C-alpha cells in the first residue's frame, strides 16, 4: 500500500489551564498522497491545534502521527524538508522585500524551486521589490504561500489561507492551490468557508468541538443529507400561524430533511419540482401567503447545520 | 537590491548569511533604531564632554568697597588674570551696593579696607558658597604678598591638562561599555521578542532551519553592529576631544567582543520567555538601571560605600568598564585584568546556558 501523506490516530490535545481545554478529542484521519484534504469547522473547533500537531509545532497529549510515513520523534529534520507551511497568522518582517523574505526562506531548504519561480507561481512578480508592509492582505497571503512552497514540499499545510480576503483575492489563492495540487502534491487546508472546501478539496473532515463529525468528499457528505437540493421559504403572516405539525415537512414525499429557523423553512429535497406544488397547496389550505421561496443546490453548510443545529460562523456554545 | 539566490552562490544562500542580512536590512531601514544605537551615545559624549571640559581659568568675581584704598587694592588684584576680563571684572561700589551684589550672588566676596581697628582688610563672604573660600585665600595671598610677605617654602604646581587625565578620557570607556550593554540587550532581546510576537520564530521553526544558525546569526549581526558603534564612538571622541587610546588596540577590540557577547547573552536570556514588548522592555530597564548608576559609566564606583562596591563590582558592566578604562587610560595589559575578564566570561557562560535552557521558540 502507498504511504499516506498524513496519517493520525486517536489524536488528542488538552491545553493545561484552569479549567483545562480539551481542544482536540480523538481525531483519526488519513490523507492520501496527491489528495487535497480540507478540515472544516467553526471558530474554536480545534482546526489550528490539529494542524499544528501535524506540522510538528505542538506536542499532542496522546495519539499517533505519521507524516509521509515518518514520525516527528525520529525524523523531524526530513519531515521539515518535505513539508511547507502557512500559519494562521504570520507577520513577515515589515521592512524586508518579497524577494528578500523568500531568499531567506529558500536558504533554509536543501532542495527547492528558485525564488523567482515561487514569486511567479503566486503572481507577485510586480511586487518582488516591494516591502512586506506595503502589500495588501491578499498579497501577504500569497507571500505566505510562496514561502510555504519555496522548498518544493511534497505536502502543503495551509491554515485558513483565505480568511479575511475579498472574493477576488480568494479566487486567486484557490487557483494557486489548485495548480499546486495538480502536480500530484498533497494539501491539507483548514477553512471555515464551505465554498472553499467544495471548490478545492477532494475530501473534507468537518470537525466540531475537537471531533470529526463527518468525513468524505463534499459530494458524499451532501448526498448524505438525502437530497441534493434545498428549498427555503418564508410565510406571511409568520409561520407561527401554522400549527406545530405543519412546521415539520418530512411527511411530504421527496422531502428528506426539514429545519425551521428564524421564520425560515429549509427543506432538503430530492425532487424540487415535485415538492414545490405541495408546499403551495399547503400554504393555500392554511390561509397564509408565501413571503419568499428559493431553491438551490445543497451545500456543505447545510450538512453542518443538519449535524449540529448551528451554523459554521456561529460562535460555539460552551460545552456543557 | 540583492539578486535572487542561485545555487552557484553558496555563501549568499547559506542560512546564516541570509539571517544576518535580514537582521542588518531590518535595522538599517529603521531610522529610529539607528539613531538610538549610533547617534545617541555620540550625542551623550558631546554633551557631557562639553559640559565638563576643563575651563581655561576660573574667573573670580569680587567687589571692593569704595574707599580711598580701593584703587590700590584693584591694582594688586589685577596682577592676577583671574581678576581681569569677562567674568572677572572687579567692581568698586558703595557698601550698600556691595551687600546687594553679595546677596544676589553676583559677587563672591567683598573687600573693604581699614574698617575695624587692628585689621587692614575685611573680607565679607558666605563660606557655604562654592568657590568663596578659595576666593578668600587667593585674595589674601595676593594682598599679603603685596604687603611684603615672603613664603618660607617653595612649591611647584603640576597641572594635568593633556589628554588622558581629563573627564572626557574617563567618560569614553564608560560610554563604550554602556553602548555595548544597551546594544546587546536591545539588539538581541527586542529583536527576538518581536519575531516571537509576529509568529515568525514559530514560522522559522517549521522550516528545516537549524536553531544554532538562528542564534548564531543573532550574535554575528550583534558583533557587526558593535563594530560600527564602537568605531563611531572612538573616532568621534578622537576627532572632537582628542581622546586617545593609551593601551593596545587589540586589547580594546577583545574587550569589546567579550562585552558584546556578554550582553548579547543577557538579551537572549531576558527574551527567552518574554511574550510582549512591554515585558521585555520592563525587564531590560530593570536590569540595566542599576548598572547605569552603579557600574562606573559616569563616575567611579569608588564613590559608593565599600559594602555596596562589592555588589557593584560583581555586576556585568562594572568589570567591562573597569577593563576598558584601564587599557585605554593607563595602557594596562589584559594579563593584569584577568579577574575582570574571568568575571565577564562567567556572566557570558551563565547567561547563555540559562537562555538555552529556558528559550521558548513559540
Ligand atoms: N495555547 C492555548 N492555550 C489554551 N487554550 C487554547 C490554546 N490554543 C487554543 N486553545 C483553545 O483550544 C480550542 C481550539 O482552538 P483552535 O485554535 O485549534 O481552534 P480553530 O478551529 O483553529 O479556531 P479558529 O477558526 O478560530 O482558528 C479553543 O477553545 C481555544 O480557545
Ligand atoms: Mg485556527
pLDDT of B3 strictly over 80: no
DSSP class of B301: G
Which residues contact residue A311 at a Cβ distance below 8 angstroms, ignoring those fewer than 6 apart?
A: A42, A301, A304, A305
User: CA B331, CA B237: separation in Å to the nearest integer?
Assistant: 17
Last residue of a domain, one of B84, B115, B146: B146
State phi, psi for B85 to the nearest 5 degrees.
Answer: 85, 180
- Domain of B120, CATH number, reads 3.40.190.10
Point out the ligand nearest to the CA of residue A14. Answer: 1
Within this chain, do residues A156 and A205 fall inside the same structural domain, yes or no?
Answer: yes
Paired with A229 in beta bridges are: A269, A297
* Most trustworthy range by pLDDT among A195-204, B44-53, B73-82, B159-168: A195-204
Within this chain, do residues B266 and B329 fall inside the same structural domain, yes or no?
Answer: yes
Q: How far is B232 from chain A (nearest CA, A)?
A: 25
Question: Could you tell me if residue B80 is inside a domain?
Answer: yes
B346: exposed, middle or buried (Cβ count in 10 Å: 0-12, 13-18, 19+): middle
What are B212-251's pLDDT values in tens digits? 999 899 999 999 999 888 999 999 999 988 888 889 999 9
- Domain of A16, CATH number, reads 3.40.50.300
Beta-strand pair A155-159/A186-191: parallel
Within this chain, do residues A102 and A174 fall inside the same structural domain, yes or no?
Answer: yes
Q: Which of B234, B222, B231, B235 is nearest to B348 (CA)?
A: B222
pLDDT of B187 strictly over 60: yes
**Full residue range of the structural domain in which residue B101 is found:** 62-146
Within this chain, do residues B31 and B110 fall inside the same structural domain, yes or no?
Answer: no
Count of alpha carbons within 13 angstroms of residue A155, beta-carbon side: 27
Instruction: Give the total number of structural domains in chain B.
Output: 2
Question: Are residues A108 and B199, on separate chains, in Cβ contact within 8 Å?
Answer: no
Question: What share of chain B has pLDDT > 90, as a percent?
Answer: 40
User: CA A122, CA A146: separation in Å to the nearest integer?
Assistant: 6
Within this chain, do residues B197 and B270 fall inside the same structural domain, yes or no?
Answer: yes
Within this chain, do residues B219 and B327 fall inside the same structural domain, yes or no?
Answer: yes
Last residue of a domain, one of A217, A236, A260: A217
The pLDDT assigned to B258 comes to 95
Question: Could you tell me if residue B216 is inside a domain?
Answer: yes
The pLDDT assigned to B66 comes to 87
- Best residue in B206, B217, B360 for a mutation probing chain A (most A CBs within 10 Å): B206
Within this chain, do residues A171 and A234 fall inside the same structural domain, yes or no?
Answer: no
Torsion of CA B252, B254, B258, B261, to 10 degrees: 110
pLDDT of B183 strictly over 80: yes
State phi, psi for A25 to the nearest 5 degrees.
Answer: -125, 55
Within this chain, do residues A90 and A131 fall inside the same structural domain, yes or no?
Answer: yes
Ligand 2 centre to CA of A205 (Å) is 15
Q: Which of B259, B242, B257, B247 is nearest to B328 (CA)?
A: B247
Distance of CA A49 to the CA centre of its chain: 14
Within this chain, do residues B251 and B200 fall inside the same structural domain, yes or no?
Answer: yes
Chain B CB contacts of A131 under 8 Å are 29
Within this chain, do residues B124 and B190 fall inside the same structural domain, yes or no?
Answer: no
The nearest alpha carbon in chain A to B213 belongs to: A108
pLDDT of B328 strictly over 80: yes
For chain B, what is the mean pLDDT? 87
Chain A CB contacts of B13 under 8 Å are 103, 106-107
The pLDDT assigned to B107 comes to 86
CA distances from B233 to A166, B31, B45, B47, B108 (A): 51, 18, 8, 13, 40
Ligand 2 centre to CA of A286 (Å) is 47
What are B33-42's pLDDT values in tens digits? 788 778 888 8
Within this chain, do residues A162 and A201 fall inside the same structural domain, yes or no?
Answer: yes
Question: What share of chain B has pLDDT > 70, as a percent?
Answer: 94
Question: Could you tell me if residue B342 is inside a domain?
Answer: yes
The pLDDT assigned to A100 comes to 96
User: CA B234, CA B249: separation in Å to the nearest integer?
Assistant: 11
CA distances from B26 to B19, B30, B33, B41, B226 (A): 11, 7, 10, 21, 16
Mean pLDDT of B90-94: 88
Within this chain, do residues B218 and B352 fall inside the same structural domain, yes or no?
Answer: yes
Of A57, A104, A151, the CB nearest to B205: A57
At B361, is the pLDDT very low, low, confident or very high (cuts 50, 70, 90)? confident
At B163, is the pLDDT very low, low, confident or very high (cuts 50, 70, 90)? low
Question: Could you tell me if residue B90 is inside a domain?
Answer: yes
Q: Which atom number of ligand 1 is nearest to the Cα of residue A21?
A: 5
Question: Could you tell me if residue B153 is inside a domain?
Answer: no
Within this chain, do residues A113 and A235 fall inside the same structural domain, yes or no?
Answer: no
Structural contact between residues A198 and A300, judged by C-beta atoms closer than 8 angstroms = yes
- Best residue in B6, B20, B208 for a mutation probing chain A (most A CBs within 10 Å): B208
Question: Could you tell me if residue B295 is inside a domain?
Answer: yes
Q: How far is B279 from chain A (nearest CA, A)?
A: 20
**Full residue range of the structural domain in which residue A91 is found:** 6-217
Mean pLDDT of B45-65: 78
What are B8-18's pLDDT values in tens digits? 567 788 999 99
User: CA A153, CA A113: separation in Å to the nearest integer?
Assistant: 10
State phi, psi for B154 to the nearest 5 degrees.
Answer: -110, 140
Question: Could you tell me if residue B1 is inside a domain?
Answer: no
Within this chain, do residues A17 and A125 fall inside the same structural domain, yes or no?
Answer: yes
Question: Could you tell me if residue B329 is inside a domain?
Answer: yes
Within this chain, do residues A284 and A182 fall inside the same structural domain, yes or no?
Answer: no
CA angle B21, B33, B174 (to 5 degrees): 105
Question: Are residues B207 and A151, on separate chains, in Cβ contact within 8 Å?
Answer: yes
The pLDDT assigned to B57 comes to 61
Task: Describe the strand order of the beta sheet including A62-67 as a list of residue ranges.
Answer: A21-31, A6-15, A62-67
- A246-260, B127-141, B327-341: segment of lowest average pLDDT: A246-260
Within this chain, do residues A190 and A231 fall inside the same structural domain, yes or no?
Answer: no
B169: exposed, middle or buried (Cβ count in 10 Å: 0-12, 13-18, 19+): buried
Within this chain, do residues A184 and A101 fall inside the same structural domain, yes or no?
Answer: yes
Instruction: Give the total number of structural domains in chain A.
Output: 2
Structural contact between residues A2 and A57, judged by C-beta atoms closer than 8 angstroms = no
Look up residue A118 and give its three cell numbers: 515561487
Question: Could you tell me if residue A76 is inside a domain?
Answer: yes
Within this chain, do residues B105 and B172 fall inside the same structural domain, yes or no?
Answer: no
Within this chain, do residues A109 and A62 fall inside the same structural domain, yes or no?
Answer: yes
Mean pLDDT in consecutive groups of 10 residues from the start of chain A, 320 residues: 88 92 93 94 92 94 94 93 92 94 95 94 93 93 94 95 87 91 93 86 92 90 79 73 60 80 81 85 81 84 77 54
Probe ligand 1: pick from A25, A42, A44, max atoms within 8 Å of CB? A44
Of A90, A95, A106, the CB nearest to B26: A95
The pLDDT assigned to A86 comes to 95
Within this chain, do residues B33 and B92 fall inside the same structural domain, yes or no?
Answer: no
The pLDDT assigned to A318 comes to 46
Last residue of a domain, one of A162, A189, A217: A217
Amino acid at each position: 500500500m502507498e504511504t499516506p501523506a498524513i496519517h493520525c490516530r486517536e489524536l488528542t490535545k488538552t491545553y493545561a489551564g484552569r479549567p483545562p481545554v480539551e481542544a482536540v478529542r480523538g481525531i483519526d484521519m488519513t490523507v492520501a498522497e496527491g489528495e487535497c484534504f480540507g478540515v472544516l469547522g467553526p471558530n474554536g473547533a480545534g482546526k489550528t491545534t490539529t494542524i499544528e500537531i501535524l506540522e510538528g509545532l505542538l506536542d499532542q497529549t496522546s495519539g499517533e502521527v505519521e507524516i509521509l510515513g515518518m514520525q516527528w520523534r525520529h525524523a523531524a529534520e526530513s519531515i521539515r524538508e518535505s513539508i511547507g507551511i502557512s500559519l494562521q497568522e504570520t507577520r513577515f518582517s515589515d521592512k524586508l522585500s518579497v524577494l528578500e523574505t523568500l531568499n531567506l526562506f529558500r536558504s533554509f531548504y536543501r532542495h527547492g524551486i528558485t525564488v523567482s519561480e515561487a514569486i511567479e507561481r503566486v503572481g507577485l512578480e510586480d511586487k518582488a521589490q516591494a516591502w512586506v508592509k506595503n502589500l495588501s492582505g491578499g498579497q501577504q497571503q500569497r507571500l505566505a504561500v510562496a514561502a510555504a512552497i519555496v522548498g518544493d514540499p511534497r505536502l502543503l499545510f495551509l491554515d485558513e489561507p483565505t480568511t479575511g480576503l475579498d472574493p477576488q483575492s480568494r479566487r486567486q489563492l484557490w487557483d494557486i492551490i489548485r495548480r499546486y495540487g495538480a502536480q500530484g502534491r498533497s494539501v491539507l487546508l483548514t477553512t471555515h468557508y464551505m465554498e472553499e472546501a467544495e471548490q478545492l478539496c477532494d475530501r473534507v473532515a468537518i470537525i466540531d468541538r475537537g471531533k470529526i463529525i463527518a468525513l468524505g468528499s463534499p459530494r458524499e457528505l451532501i448526498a448524505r443529507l438525502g437530497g441534493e437540493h434545498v428549498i427555503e421559504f418564508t410565510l406571511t403572516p409568520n409561520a407561527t400561524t401554522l400549527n406545530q405539525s405543519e412546521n415539520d415537512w418530512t411527511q411530504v414525499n421527496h422531502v428528506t430533511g426539514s429545519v425551521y429557523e428564524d421564520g425560515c423553512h429549509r427543506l432538503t429535497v430530492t425532487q424540487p419540482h415535485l415538492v414545490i406544488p405541495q408546499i403551495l397547496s399547503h400554504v393555500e389550505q392554511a390561509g397564509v401567503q408565501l413571503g419568499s421561496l428559493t431553491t438551490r443546490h445543497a451545500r456543505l453548510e447545510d450538512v453542518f447545520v443538519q449535524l449540529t443545529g448551528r451554523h459554521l460562523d456561529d460562535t460555539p456554545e460552551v460545552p456543557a | 537590491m540583492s539578486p535572487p539566490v542561485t545555487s552557484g552562490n553558496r555563501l549568499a544562500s547559506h542560512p546564516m548569511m541570509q539571517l544576518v542580512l535580514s537582521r542588518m536590512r531590518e535595522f538599517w531601514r529603521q531610522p529610529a533604531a539607528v539613531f538610538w544605537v549610533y547617534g545617541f551615545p555620540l550625542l551623550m559624549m558631546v554633551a557631557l564632554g562639553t559640559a565638563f571640559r576643563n575651563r581655561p581659568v576660573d574667573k573670580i568675581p569680587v567687589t571692593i568697597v569704595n574707599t580711598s584704598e580701593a584703587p590700590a587694592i584693584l591694582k594688586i588684584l589685577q596682577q592676577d588674570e583671574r581678576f581681569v576680563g569677562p567674568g572677572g571684572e572687579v567692581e568698586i561700589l558703595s557698601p550698600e551696593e556691595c551687600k546687594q551684589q553679595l546677596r544676589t550672588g553676583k559677587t563672591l566676596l567683598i573687600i573693604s579696607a581699614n574698617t575695624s581697628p587692628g585689621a587692614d582688610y575685611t573680607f565679607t563672604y558666605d563660606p557655604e558658597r562654592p568657590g568663596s573660600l578659595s576666593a578668600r585665600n587667593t585674595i589674601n595671598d595676593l594682598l599679603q604678598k603685596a604687603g611684603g610677605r615672603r613664603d618660607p617654602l617653595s612649591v611647584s604646581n603640576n597641572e594635568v591638562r593633556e589628554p588622558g587625565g581629563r573627564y572626557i578620557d574617563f567618560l569614553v570607556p564608560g560610554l563604550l561599555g554602556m553602548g555595548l550593554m544597551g546594544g546587546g540587550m536591545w539588539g538581541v532581546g527586542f529583536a527576538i521578542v518581536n519575531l516571537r510576537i509576529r509568529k515568525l520564530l514559530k514560522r522559522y521553526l517549521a522550516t528545516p532551519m537549524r536553531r544554532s544558525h538562528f542564534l548564531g546569526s543573532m550574535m554575528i549581526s550583534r558583533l557587526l553592529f558593535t563594530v560600527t558603534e564602537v568605531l563611531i564612538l572612538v573616532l568621534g571622541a578622537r576627532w572632537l576631544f582628542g581622546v586617545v587610546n593609551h593601551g593596545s588596540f587589540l586589547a580594546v577590540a577583545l574587550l569589546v567582543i567579550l562585552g558584546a557577547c556578554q550582553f548579547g547573552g543577557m538579551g537572549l536570556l531576558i527574551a527567552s520567555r518574554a511574550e510582549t514588548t512591554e515585558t521585555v522592555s520592563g525587564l531590560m530597564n530593570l536590569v540595566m538601571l542599576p548598572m547605569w548608576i552603579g557600574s562606573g559609566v559616569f563616575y567611579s564606583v569608588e564613590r559608593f560605600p565599600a559594602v555596596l562596591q562589592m555588589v557593584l563590582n560583581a555586576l556585568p558592566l562594572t568589570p567591562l568598564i573597569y577593563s576598558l578604562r584601564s587599557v585605554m587610560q593607563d595602557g594596562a595589559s589584559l594579563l593584569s585584568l584577568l579577574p575582570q575578564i574571568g568575571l565577564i566570561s562567567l556572566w557570558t557562560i551563565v547567561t547563555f546556558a540559562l537562555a538555552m535552557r529556558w528559550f521558548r521558540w513559540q
